[in-house]
Amino acid sequence: MTKIGIIICNRYHTCAGGKCLRALRNREGAFARYEGEEVELVGFTTCGGCPGGNVEYAPAEMKRNGAEVIHLATGLVVGYPPCPHLDAFCAFIPARYQLEVVIGTHPIPQNYYLTHQRLGTWQTAGWQERIQQVLTDEPTRLAYD
């Protein structure tokens, strides 16, 4: 069984986690990597707001609860602007807590996809790599609108 934690962007602090939990249950988006495996969610919290102060401490509690992987929620890449601290989080968590970090949870919703396509946000190779696990086909994106 793989135990995971999810860190969401603080601007979505009232999010009930519905899209993330549906994607986890259905093994969609970044959770497709767990197809055929048992997964347990052992933590769900916000980054604490810019510059992400909660990222310094929340993974410790998640690790004490058995987390092996931390998912940085899709909201960190689809919000506007996307999280400017994403690369720092991806470097810090493994260095400090020896936990794997995955960018993304649920598939990118179509409305965000279209907006970021118009803005050209994800045109660079770096962004294409960051969103690869949550960039799905149009019917799936529409299902997450």
Residue ranges and CATH numbers for the domains of the chain are 2-143 (3.40.50)
Question: Which residue type sits at 89?
Answer: F
Helix (H) or strand (E) holding 2: strand 2-8
- Please report which confidence band the pLDDT of residue 22 belongs to, taking 50, 70 and 90 as the band edges: very high
Measured over all CA atoms, what is the biggest interatomic distance in the chain, rounded to whole angstroms?
42
Instruction: Give φ, ψ of 103 to 5 degrees.
Output: -85, 115
Are the C-beta atoms of 86 and 130 separated by less than 8 Å?
A: yes
* Alpha-helical segments (H) within 52-124: 58-64, 75-78, 86-97, 110-119
pLDDT of residue 89: 98
- The predicted-structure confidence for 93-140, as pLDDT tens digits, reads as follows 999 999 999 999 999 999 999 999 999 999 999 999 999 999 999 999
